[in-house]
Amino acid sequence: MKTFPLEYESKKEILFSPEKPEKFEADILEIGPGRGDFLLSAAEQNPDKKLVAIELDKRRHRKMIPRVEKKGLTNILLIGGNARIALPRYFKPGTFEKAYVLFPDPWPKKRHYPLRLMSVDFINLLTDCLKEGGDLFFATDFWPYADWVVDNVAEVPRLKSLGKPYFTTIDDMAYYSPSYFEQKWRKEGRAIYYMRYQKVKS
C-alpha cells in the first residue's frame, strides 16, 4: 500500500529554527509536536539534552518559534517539514535515545489509512534513527489506531514492547507531560493508550 506522495514531498522546502545546523546531532525526537506543549516541557526538564521536533504543518512550526524563544530554550531544533523526508535526510541511524509520536491524526476512514503516520515503513524509519536500547513512545486516544500500531510494530522485530502486554501507563512515559491534544481528550473523559517500545539487537 502506498503511504504518501513522497516524491512530491521531497521537493518541498524544509524550514529550520533557529537555523540549519552543520551537524545533525540530538538526543530526543518528537514527530508532529503541534503546539509544542510536550516539547517545551521535555526541553525544560532536560537542559543538557538536545531536542528535535519535526512538524509537517508550516504554520504550526512557525507558531512554535516564539514559544521556544520566550522560554529562553536553546536546546531545541525545530524542523518544518515532513518527517518521512527530513528524518532520513538529516539524521544518521542510531542518533536518538528517545522518540515520541503523540496523538497523530487518526484518519479514521479506511480509505485514508495510507495517510496515517505510524505505518510499518515509518516505524522502521523511527527504529533506524534510535540508538540500541533507545525508546519509542506513542500515545493516542483512538483505539483503532492503537490496535493498528500494535499490529504494525509486530512487523518490526527490532522493537520490543515494554508494556503489559502491549500498553503501558503514563508513569512509564519518560520526561512526560500531556500534550495539547492529550489535555483536550482528557477533559472529554476519553481513555488514552500509551505504548513504549525499546530497540533491541536485531
**6 is an interface residue for ligand SAM by CB under 6 A:** no
Q: Which of 194, 111, 192, 124 is CA-nearest to residue 152?
A: 124
Residues in region 72-91 near ligand SAM by CB under 6 A: 82-84
**141 is an interface residue for ligand SAM by CB under 6 A:** no
Phi, psi of 20 (to 5 degrees): -70, 120
Selected from 60, 62, 67, 131, the binder of ligand SAM by CB under 6 A is 60
DSSP 5: -
Nearer to ligand SAM, 8 or 164 (CB): 8
What gap in Å lies between CA 92 and CA 172, rounded to an integer?
Answer: 27
**Count of residues in contact with ligand SAM, rule CB under 6 A:** 21
Q: What is the radius of gyration, based on Cα positions, of the chain?
A: 16
Nearer to ligand SAM, 108 or 133 (CB): 108
**105 is an interface residue for ligand SAM by CB under 6 A:** yes
Q: Which of 105, 121, 128, 172 is labelled catalytic?
A: 105
Task: Count Cβ neighbours within 10 Å for each residue of 80-98 and write b for 16 or more, e otherwise.
Answer: bbbbbbbbeebbeeebbbb
What gap in Å lies between CA 191 and CA 91, rounded to an integer?
Answer: 34
Cell representation of residue 171: 508513569
Selected from 102, 149, 159, 173, the binder of ligand SAM by CB under 6 A is 102
User: What residue is closest to ligand SAM based on CB?
Assistant: 32
Nearer to ligand SAM, 88 or 133 (CB): 88
Would you call 141 a catalytic residue per the annotation?
no
What gap in Å lies between CA 82 and CA 4, rounded to an integer?
Answer: 10
Neighbours of 154 (CB within 10 A): 12
Show the binding pattern over residues 27-56: x = contacts ligand SAM (CB under 6 A), - = does not: ----xxxx-------------------xxx
Nearer to ligand SAM, 122 or 197 (CB): 122
Name the residues that contact ligand SAM, by CB under 6 A: 31-34, 54-57, 60, 82-84, 102-105, 117, 179-182
> Mind telling me the catalytic residues?
105
